[in-house]
A and B are shown apart, each in its own frame.
Chain A
């Protein structure tokens, strides 16, 4: 592959963004012969200093700075290093990349991401209605849009319950005092809606999927998390082969017509064996590099789809492949930081 591919989401601390994993997948391809352009938001985004993975690094404006600034910056980068494909890997930037998708296409830059309408269907506040419509099981959830609905929602769900913010995080609560505390915390942080959800007793599995143009499942890797950080993020995991999970994933992607990468969070209820969809993350997971060990290079598949290549569904992923995340330190000279601070770019 002789391509220039730009990737976002390069800040990799104890809750790593997926970008570095995506890059490692692309470099893993034996036919890889391109350049990797890292798109960072901050001088101290950790991954932008990994000269073993990146060829060029550019800082780009945060999504809240608007479409024009982002487009202008990408035009500048594209003028110096022509970009073939951009892979956005963060939830928070998906909306702005959707808005400039056509502008990028006109510039000769491809992406393979689902539309705003499709992404909105799986948002936390819309997931229940999507699941009802598509006949997909999901835990009982009440979406609270105003303070007055709080008590009624508790009565409806009962204890224990999860309080969930509209963007991130969930806390399990056994009483009214804990529930009020986290409800207020989410309300102050992100505003309404706040969600209350009934827990499902069972095992959680995560499935990284890539949906094709019509939402057909082209590749999927399912894992069980083995080690978790205190934030509940996977620190180690093992791939599994489970037909029920694959069929469930197929159904979800098809019903959504999901075209692009995503991560499904699924609970298998211990008592009944029933599958419940917890969440759909509209991007690759941070553990995506594991997919190469399972013989499914899903980022490469997304690049092929972005370029409009005809692709077939990948063979089933290998089970029993494990990853263990290992933190390391990178050492770099002062001029790396100087270049990024002064010019907003760095070339290795």
Chain B
């Protein structure tokens, strides 16, 4: 399943995220930044899960939890549609 951002978002090297349509800003930790960039690259959820497991050397269960948490927050902030 592919995740899509609802509006134009820009992220800096430091993980500072800017939503051009609302002017709201967010700060992403390293896991968030990693997942965010994979979504930007139009990777689907299954691929992102595998990338997270490899990048951070974590179990599927942990990666799943991290990904779910991050996507839930993106939805809460109305940044992503699925």
Bound Cα distance from A64 to B18, whole angstroms: 47
Output the nearest chain A residue to B18 by Cβ-Cβ distance.
A320
Residues of B within 8 A of A205 (CB): 23
Name the prevailing secondary structure of the A interface residues.
strand
Per-residue 0/1 for A297-335: is the Cβ within 8 Å of any B Cβ (1 yes, 0 no)? Answer: 000000000000000000000011000000000000000
Per-residue 0/1 for A208-241: is the Cβ within 8 Å of any B Cβ (1 yes, 0 no)? Answer: 0000000000000001101000000000011111
Per-residue 0/1 for A19-53: is the Cβ within 8 Å of any B Cβ (1 yes, 0 no)? Answer: 00000000000000000000000000000000000
Residues of B within 8 A of A242 (CB): 20-22
Residues of B within 8 A of A243 (CB): 21
Per-residue 0/1 for B1-19: is the Cβ within 8 Å of any A Cβ (1 yes, 0 no)? Answer: 0000000101000000010
Bound Cα distance from A320 to B12, whole angstroms: 12
CB distance from A319 to the nearest CB of B (A): 4
Output the nearest chain B residue to A203 by Cβ-Cβ distance.
B22
Interface centre among B8, B18, B21 (most CB of A within 10 A): B21
Name the prevailing secondary structure of the B interface residues.
loop
Taking a contact as CB atoms under 8 Å apart, the answer to whether B10 and A320 are in contact is yes
Per-residue 0/1 for B21-44: is the Cβ within 8 Å of any A Cβ (1 yes, 0 no)? Answer: 111110000000000000000000
Output the nearest chain B residue to A226 by Cβ-Cβ distance.
B23
Residues of B within 8 A of A320 (CB): 10, 18, 20
Q: How large is the interface on A (under 10, 10 to 19, 20 to 34, 35 or more residues)?
A: 10 to 19
Bound Cα distance from A241 to B21, whole angstroms: 5
Residues of B within 8 A of A237 (CB): 23
Bound Cα distance from A242 to B23, whole angstroms: 9
CB distance from B11 to the nearest CB of A (A): 12
What would 15 more interface pairs be, CB under 8 Å, given A226-B23, A240-B20, A242-B22? A203-B22, A205-B23, A223-B23, A224-B23, A224-B24, A237-B23, A238-B23, A240-B21, A240-B22, A241-B8, A242-B21, A319-B18, A319-B20, A320-B10, A320-B18
Q: List 19 A-B contacts (CB under 8 A).
A: A203-B22, A223-B23, A224-B24, A226-B23, A237-B23, A238-B23, A238-B25, A239-B23, A240-B21, A240-B22, A240-B23, A241-B8, A241-B20, A242-B20, A242-B21, A242-B22, A243-B21, A320-B18, A320-B20
